[in-house]
Chain A
């Protein structure tokens, strides 16, 4: 057997460095996700408004986000902001901005459909029992909405994690970049490093995303029964 390429992972602290790299994109995902959840809740409630104009703008925002690839949005913010607003955004900031912009729309739509899936009689019974509008939301609607929301929120989180892998294309030093550094550093000693490094990154992403999507599937099933 020839010189095993897998050893590249255990040389020095390579493996640790890869995890640190992954942590960078995970951090971006978690930050954007928290913003998206907060803003998305608000946006979702706005979306249920009966005002035609409000609905139109919500729709426009949602469709814009849905139609533009996230990478295009990233480019727009990363290159566009530097030129027009004269602010030099770091890749990370641009990524958080874009992913929050995207996540808020997606989250908002989830919140909207969860809110709409709650039968009208729930509201009416609340009012009949003498709850105010806030009381109905606080005690009746929101608790039920969150239960229904959890699985799709987790799915959104895995999508967010997967999408943050794009940040390497706007120059953030994350797991793929670290992987490239490792490959380049050992170009002559371990020629087949690329296979192992990219293979491990592949597995790492899987290891992070799988528990969430599994949990989402289980929760979904539990809700259905």
Chain B
């Protein structure tokens, strides 16, 4: 292991990690927005839009991000839509993540039994109050674990961005292997960088899950008592 080499190229990895994080952040933010909109459309069953959203979710969930990126980056310029690597990455991530987030939000809200809404109504609560005090806390409690898993999944997916010429961590590692043949050092720093990014996220998610679990209904399923 050549530590001089590692010290010399650490800044390169740091800036690459910064780029990865920036794109991941923007992509995830957009996917949350898309996810919210799509889940609202599905929950309120808005006629034509529901079909479109369903189609979008199926397409995005059943194709690999890499192929989506290739299509965006190499395919679209042929019909005059030229996207930069960064835009491509963000669009791809948002396209992929949107459907995952939509499904997460929708199942979170829909799995709350109808009886709870009815009980709320019979107690004289308004629709908004029911949503605010009954549905939302429980929906958040059950969605947070999946939501966190989605975020980690999306950050991991950013590793394919090197394929559309984005100078992210994979790109830097591949470059160093190709130029200096320092395979060990390059791969070592690659693993460390991903650990530094993902371990805190994962730890934070575990913490968050534990925190929101308090809101679960009696912290158990009232029917089976499990």
Contact = CB atoms under 8 A, between A and B. Distances in A.
B66 interface: yes
**Residue with the greatest number of chain B CB neighbours at <10 A, chosen from A5, A79, A83, A168:** A79
**Residue with the greatest number of chain B CB neighbours at <10 A, chosen from A5, A165, A196:** A165
Contact of B62 (A176, A199, A210): A210
B159 interface: yes
A5 B59 CA distance: 23
Interface in A69-93: 69-72, 75-76, 79-80, 82-83
Nearest to A179: B70
A205 B226 CA distance: 40
B126 interface: no
A82 B177 CA distance: 12
Nearest to A25: B64
Contacts of B190: 72, 75
Contacts of B62: 158, 162, 205-206, 209-210, 213
A201 B191 contact: no
B61 A213 contact: yes
Interface in B62-82: 62-68, 70-71, 74-79
A68 B156 CA distance: 7
A166 interface: yes
A192 B79 contact: yes
Contacts of A201: 67, 70-71
Contacts of B159: 69-72
A72 B67 CA distance: 18
A67 B198 contact: yes
Contacts of A75: 170, 173-174, 187, 190
Interface string A50-82: 000000000000010011111110011001101
A205 B61 CA distance: 11
A169 interface: yes
Contacts of A68: 156, 191, 194, 198
A201 B199 CA distance: 34
A122 interface: no
* Main DSSP-derived SS at the B contact region: helix
A79 B177 contact: yes
A195 B61 contact: no
B187 A169 contact: no
A89 to B, nearest CB: 13
A181 interface: no
B160 interface: yes
A210 B59 CA distance: 8
Nearest to A68: B194
A23 interface: no
B30 interface: no
Interface string B141-172: 00000000000100011111011000000100
A82 B183 CA distance: 10
A176 B70 contact: yes
A165 B162 CA distance: 14
A199 B194 contact: no
Contacts of A176: 66-67, 70
A5 B78 CA distance: 10
Contact of A198 (B71, B152, B156): B71
**Residue with the greatest number of chain A CB neighbours at <10 A, chosen from B65, B77, B159, B194:** B159
B214 to A, nearest CB: 22
A76 B191 contact: yes
7 contacts: A68-B156, A119-B226, A169-B66, A192-B78, A193-B78, A194-B74, A195-B79
Given A162-B65, A166-B64, 14 more contacts: A67-B152, A67-B202, A72-B190, A75-B174, A80-B183, A162-B62, A162-B64, A166-B160, A192-B78, A198-B67, A205-B67, A206-B59, A206-B63, A213-B58
Q: Which 6 A-B pairs have the closest CB atoms?
A: A192-B78, A209-B62, A69-B159, A165-B64, A195-B78, A69-B156
Interface of A: 5, 63, 66-72, 75-76, 79-80, 82-83, 119, 158, 162-163, 165-166, 168-169, 176, 183, 191-199, 201-202, 205-206, 209-210, 213
